[in-house]
Amino acid sequence: MSVDFDAVIVGAGFGGMYMLHRLRHKGFTARVFEAGSGVGGTWYWNRYPGARCDVESVQYSYQFSAELEQEWEWTERYATQPEILRYANHVADRFDLRRDIRFETRIAAAVFDETASLWRVETDKGDKVTARFVITAMGCLSSPNTPKIPGLADFKGPTYHTGNWPHEAVDFTGKTVGVIGTGSSAIQSIPIMARQAKHLTVFQRTANYTVPAHNKPLDPEYVRQVKASYREMRQRARTKPAGIDFTINPASAIATPDEERRREFEARWTYGGLGFMASFSDLLLSDESNKTAADFVRSKIREVVKDPATAEALMPKNIIGCKRLCVDTGYWETFNRPNVTLVDISDEPIERVTASGLRAKGKDYGFDCLVLATGFDAMTGALLKVDIRGRGGVALKDKWSEGPKSYLGLTVVGFPNLFTITGPGSPSVLTNMLPSIEQHVDFIADCLETLRAKGVSVIEPVEEAQEAWVGQVGNAANITLRSTCSSWYVGANIPGKPRVFMPYIGGLPAYIAACETVVKNDYEGFALA
């Protein structure tokens, strides 16, 4: 039976674009469907003020093309959202990707036809296409979470969600603004909104840890050096658990004398960025070691924030790094501004949103604009919005009703020829996304090529292999402190979501090794038909 495409790819972010490029080069036909009107995924939607990547730009970039690496000029240590979006557009143009992308089109349903061994895909525009393979590249943090706070629809002013920000600039000058949430998106946007707004009120349910970015323009000499040694840097990054080239101090924090420990934290703090968590090797393994890092950050808050009550409220009480660490520019300092108020709602949820603001802890707060910096239904949210049905018409959302189960975070029993780029059960959000995306795309493209060479039309993981992998993902999570707190990693931010630590925390090198073993052993763990 003829099919329209070898593959349908869902999403034109960094995953979908590279997948299309790789498949084309191997002589496969593919069609990408993208909900937005342009490429870029996360960087297309997250246009809130101050949005930038918390991985350094020279590392948060594709490595599949040496020419692309050499010709693209990053201008800042941490690239802004507009710069990353320009990069995504440059990639789309340079590799002539747009002709195979249908924009402003969402996949509504994808159903596996067992008789014909193909996927029947339907879009919200009424397109119906068939494909041998469906490859999702929908991002891990792409389904915005709008909490069900009573009265949200009653608010008369504009409401913005950081994860779905308008394309035209939003100017808060002279406006009073309320912000709900203090995660990464809030921590990046609050300092900028505070500089514009007449007054900014921040509603904080959980105080968060953040380290300074110390962002700066990139020195041309540094860029020259990076460009001259990109391969070595990428290779080093592949040996690091997070796929980021920074030095991990092998020492234990608690076993290090106080003075020396403080020096190490201070040096990392002064350098800035996520490498703070690599100050010592056991910060996410030992409560005592973790507390030394948490105390250090709390001491910094105390130093910066002038009002002792505000400083106390801003001090995170939980484990540092358990929720994703944030990287900021001037976050704590913002709370010294006379036009910024922090409202601690840790002990009582917001009662309701009203026409002119919101009511919390028995008090009414008024503002002109409301910003929801309330995060995402992470890792599974976007996938499960699509009606994906595998063998026997079973829906993925039913299959995953007790939490996602996958083989390698890439494939699911009962869903033949479906691949999930950076899916749950893979390192994804715990790593630098770009190398993780490229590794998945390469795995999938090589797999499709092997299947074609063997004359195999269907690939599907076997139950035992999937169970074993799910076991490994769970065991790895249980060793670290990361699985112990209420974070989006475990789905705790979405009421009713099963509580499962979703990403694989064993590190990128171990994960790559596992994938390589599977391939070396002739796609061990998969049934080929």
| Residue ranges in contact with ligand N01 by CB under 6 A | 53-54, 141, 147, 149, 162-163, 180-186, 188, 205-206, 324, 350, 373-376, 429, 488, 493
Name the strand (E) or helix (H) holding 381: helix 381-385
Q: How far is the CB of 77 from ligand N01 (least distance, A)?
A: 13
| Contact by Cβ (8 Å): 430, 242 | yes
- Answer left, alpha or beta for residue 330, where phi above 0 means left and psi between -120 and 50 means alpha: left
Q: How far is the CB of 256 from ligand N01 (least distance, A)?
A: 28
Q: Which residue, 134 or 429, is less far from ligand N01 as judged by CB?
A: 429
Q: How far is the CB of 372 from ligand N01 (least distance, A)?
A: 8
Q: How far is the CB of 194 from ligand N01 (least distance, A)?
A: 16
DSSP state of 98: G
Position with the least CB separation from ligand N01: 183
Q: Which residue, 148 or 520, is less far from ligand N01 as judged by CB?
A: 148
Q: Which residue, 105 or 188, is less far from ligand N01 as judged by CB?
A: 188
387-389/107-113 β-pairing: parallel
Q: Which residue, 394 or 494, is less far from ligand N01 as judged by CB?
A: 494
Q: How far is the CB of 507 from ligand N01 (least distance, A)?
A: 17
CA distance 350 to 362: 9
Residue 85 token pair: 């979006």
Task: Please count the residues of the chain.
Answer: 529
Torsion of CA 98, 102, 104, 108, to 10 degrees: -150
Name the strand (E) or helix (H) holding 336: none
How are the residues of the chain apportioned to helix, strand and coil, as percentages rounded to the nearest 5?
35, 20, 45
| Contact by Cβ (8 Å): 159, 354 | no
DSSP tally for the chain: helices H, then strands E: 16, 20
Q: Which residue, 47 or 199, is less far from ligand N01 as judged by CB?
A: 47
Q: How far is the CB of 374 from ligand N01 (least distance, A)?
A: 4
Q: How far is the CB of 42 from ligand N01 (least distance, A)?
A: 8
CA distance 318 to 344: 15
Q: Which residue, 53 or 465, is less far from ligand N01 as judged by CB?
A: 53
CA distance 300 to 294: 10
Torsion of CA 81, 85, 88, 92, to 10 degrees: 170
Q: Which residue, 21 or 298, is less far from ligand N01 as judged by CB?
A: 298
Q: Which residue, 22 or 205, is less far from ligand N01 as judged by CB?
A: 205
Residue 394 token pair: 């079973």
Q: How far is the CB of 327 from ligand N01 (least distance, A)?
A: 6
CA distance 283 to 296: 12
Distances (CA, A) of 13 to 42, 188, 444, 448, 459: 7, 22, 17, 21, 25
Which amino acid belongs to residue 443? F
Distances (CA, A) of 231 to 62, 249, 507: 12, 23, 20
Q: How far is the CB of 76 from ligand N01 (least distance, A)?
A: 13
Q: Which residue, 344 or 460, is less far from ligand N01 as judged by CB?
A: 344
Q: How far is the CB of 203 from ligand N01 (least distance, A)?
A: 6
Q: Which residue, 209 or 400, is less far from ligand N01 as judged by CB?
A: 209
385: burial class by Cβ within 10 Å (0-12, 13-18, 19+)? middle
Q: How far is the CB of 293 from ligand N01 (least distance, A)?
A: 18
Q: How far is the CB of 162 from ligand N01 (least distance, A)?
A: 6
Q: Which residue, 149 or 254, is less far from ligand N01 as judged by CB?
A: 149
Distances (CA, A) of 491 to 13, 71, 88, 164, 213: 23, 40, 29, 20, 27
| Contact by Cβ (8 Å): 447, 523 | yes
Q: Which residue, 203 or 407, is less far from ligand N01 as judged by CB?
A: 203
Q: Which residues pair with 96 in a beta bridge?
A: none
In 213-350, the DSSP E strands lie at 326-328, 340-344
